[in-house]
Amino acid sequence: MSALFVLIGISILVAGGFLAAFLWSVNKGQFDDDYTPSIRMLFDDELKKTTTSTIPKTINQTK
């Protein structure tokens, strides 16, 4: 039965680790906005496209 003491200790440590991770993420503002990031990721494809074609961009800006 003494193994239980060790296991309980580990289980609480692990759970405490998750709690700490949760508190950290709240503190970092990860829960402040739960809508915009879901939209933002849709723009990623477009960003890659334009970084590869930088030449017309500079031409346009001189206009």
Partner 1 sequence: MRRLFYFKNNQFINNSKSIPVNCFHCGDVCDDTSILIEDNHFCCQGCKQVYLLLNENNLCNYYDLDKTPGLKAKGKFLAERFAYLDDEATMQKLIRFQSAAQINVSFSIPQMHCSSCIYLLENLHRIEPGVKQSQVNFQLKEVFIVFNPQETTLRKVVELLAFIGYEPYISLQDTTVKKASTFNRRQIYKIGVAGFCFSNIMMLSFPEYFSSGNIDESILKQTFNWINLALSVPVLFFSAADIFIAAWKGLRQRFLNIDAPIALAIVVTFARSYYEIIGGHGAGYLDSGTGIVFFMLIGRWFQNKTYDSFSFDRDYRSYFPLGVTVVEHGAEKNIPVTQLQKTNRIIVRNEEMIPADAVLMKGTANIDYSFVSGENTAVEKRKGDLIYAGGKQMGSIIELEIIKEPSQSYITQLWNNDIFVNKKNEDKSYIHPWSRYFTMALLSIAAGTFIFWSIVDASKILPAVTSVLIVACPCSLLLSATFTYGNMLRIFGRNKLYLKNASVIEALAKINTVVFDKTGTLTQTNAAAVNYEGQPLSVRQMAIIKTVTRQSSHPLSKIIAASIHAGTDSLLTVNSFKEYTGKGFDAMVEDMPVRMGSAGFIKADAFITQDTGTSVHVVMDKVHLGKFSVKNQYRAGVAEMVTDIKEHNSHLYVLSGDNDSENTNLKKIFGDNTPLRFNQSPQQKLDFIKSLQQQGSNVLMLGDGLNDAGALMQSQVGIAVSENSAQFSPASDAILDGTKVSLLHHFIGYAKAGKKIVTASFILSILYNIVGLSFAVQGILSPMVAAILMPASSISIVLFVSLYSSFVAHNKGL
Least distance (Å) between residue 29 CB and partner 1: 8
Angle at CA of residue 52, ends 46 and 56, nearest 5°: 95
Binding positions for partner 1, rule: CB under 8 A: 1, 4-5, 8, 11-12, 15-16, 18-19, 22-23, 26-27, 29, 31-36, 39-40, 42-43, 46, 50, 56-57, 60-61, 63
* The two three-digit tokens of residue 1, written as one number: 């039965």
Least distance (Å) between residue 61 CB and partner 1: 7
Under a CB-based contact definition with an 8 Å cutoff, are residues 25 and 31 in contact? yes
